[in-house]
A and B are shown apart, each in its own frame.
Chain A
Amino acid sequence: MANHPQHCIVALVDDDARVRESLEHLLYSAGIETRSFTSAEEALEPGGLDSVCCLITDVRMPGIDGCELQRRVVAMLPALPVIFVTAHYDDVVQRKALAQGAFAFLFKPIDGEEFLETVDGAMRWSRNKEVSDVDC
């Protein structure tokens, strides 16, 4: 695991408390700071995604779903990698998410180590992107 700078936070969006909690602890065990949201609406509130360098979201949620959240986040923060974690094997959703530039699409129950590697990769990718973006 690379050492991540302090200001880098991973945002977690899932309507299921158990899943949220388990992923928070898993990321914490890898020394990654998290910020959890119970819904997409909550994550989209002003300041919600400040200094977030990776967004992890469920697909099926009441209200705004994962795909719509991704669409809005891409419009606001194009450099933010989005990782999907879902229990539903839905090819249409997966294709749409990847077409919208999702960083990864993982199916529940996810493998913890694979998940951490994916998150690590996403964080590095976003850092490199920030370095290469001159206009920020």
Chain B
Amino acid sequence: MKTYLLAVLACVIALPIAWKLDAPSSCFLLAAMASSLYGGRGPGYLTALVSSILFDLFFLLPRFHFFHSHESYLRLAVFIAAMVLATELIAARRLAEESLRQTQAKLAQATQIATISEFSASVIHEISQPLSAMVANGQTCVRWLSTDPPNLANAQSAAERIVRDGKDAGGIIQGLRSLFRRSPPEKTPFDLRPIVTEVVSLIRGRAEREKITVEVQLPKDLPKIIGDRLQLQQVLMNLVLNGMESMRTVTDRPKTLEIHSREQDGMVLTEIRDQGVGIADFEKVFDAFFTTKEDGMGMGLSICKSIIEAHEGRLWGSPGSMTGTVFSFAIPCATEERE
């Protein structure tokens, strides 16, 4: 409704200007374009209709008559055709934009699902390993106890291994619990350090398997930052997984992944440094659908960037000093007045 009122208003504004300049076609065409740009096809056509009537009354000779010469009708026809065409073109563009937006939303959702399923697979793997070891150790323990005489020393060491593996599995679950903790989406001041610790504990298994050394440097006096804890953890997780991924094919140098945080100009700057294959084009990596992975969707970094920008922060990538890549993000510190 509002957009239709705006369409009428556009005609009302266009009329005196057109009268003064004696340029009805361009003024009314502008009104029609503005209406269809803001309101779509309907308001565009309403403007076309209203301005055709106004054009007919005010600008065709003799004025204030509905009957004119042939040339005048031709003028009117050309004018209407131009308005219809402009409205249609703009409406088509709006439709295309809308469908693109919907596609992007669907893709973002698909990416999330893909990430979740990939994530679940790695969680299943991480938990089933210690669980499997526990069952085998438990049955070994029972076997040593049921020999005649029972071999208590061997049974005890088996039981000790069960306890150790159980604690390992518990640690993995602890890390997950904190990742999926229901937290309100509003921004709160929080400490970045436990988040880094949680992410590192989640990837430890994979890092060991892929022979990656993870180095973490977090100053004790790191100020709190303001933001959505869960979203920032997702960003960090994504950057860390990308870093690990980039070192998959590296064989000629030690694979290290460094996570450093420090305060800089009222922001907390976090750097994730890998010794991977590097990136050719840092402009493109943040584009949606840009990917270097065989099975990647190219949405991870673009989602990360939008999350960081929503936190009034910056995310950027640069080549490492010798090899690999550094991804950095800076988030404003939580100051007194912000809290």
Contacts and interface: CB of A to CB of B under 8 A. Distances in A.
Interface of A: 15-16, 18-19, 21-23, 25-26, 28-30, 60, 62, 85, 87-88, 108-113, 115
Contacts of B125: 60, 87-88
B158 A87 contact: no
Interface string B135-148: 11111100110000
Nearest to A14: B129
A85 B136 CA distance: 12
Interface residues of B, number: 25
B147 to A, nearest CB: 8
29 contacts: A16-B129, A18-B129, A18-B130, A18-B133, A19-B129, A19-B133, A22-B132, A22-B133, A22-B136, A22-B140, A25-B136, A25-B137, A25-B140, A26-B140, A26-B143, A29-B140, A29-B144, A60-B125, A62-B209, A85-B132, A87-B124, A87-B129, A88-B125, A108-B131, A110-B132, A111-B139, A112-B135, A112-B138, A112-B139
B313 to A, nearest CB: 34
Interface of B is mostly: helix
B74 interface: no
Q: Which of A22, A25, A88, A113 has the most CB of B within 10 A?
A: A22
A22 B209 contact: no
B213 interface: no
Interface of B: 121, 124-125, 128-140, 143-144, 154, 158, 161, 165, 168, 209-210
A111 B139 CA distance: 8
B136 A115 contact: yes
A87 B209 contact: no
Contacts of A111: 135, 139
**Nearest 4 A-B pairs (CB), nearest first?**
A112-B139, A22-B136, A108-B132, A87-B128
Contacts of A16: 129, 133, 209
Nearest to A89: B124
Nearest to A58: B129
A30 B143 CA distance: 8
B132 A87 contact: yes
A15 B136 contact: no
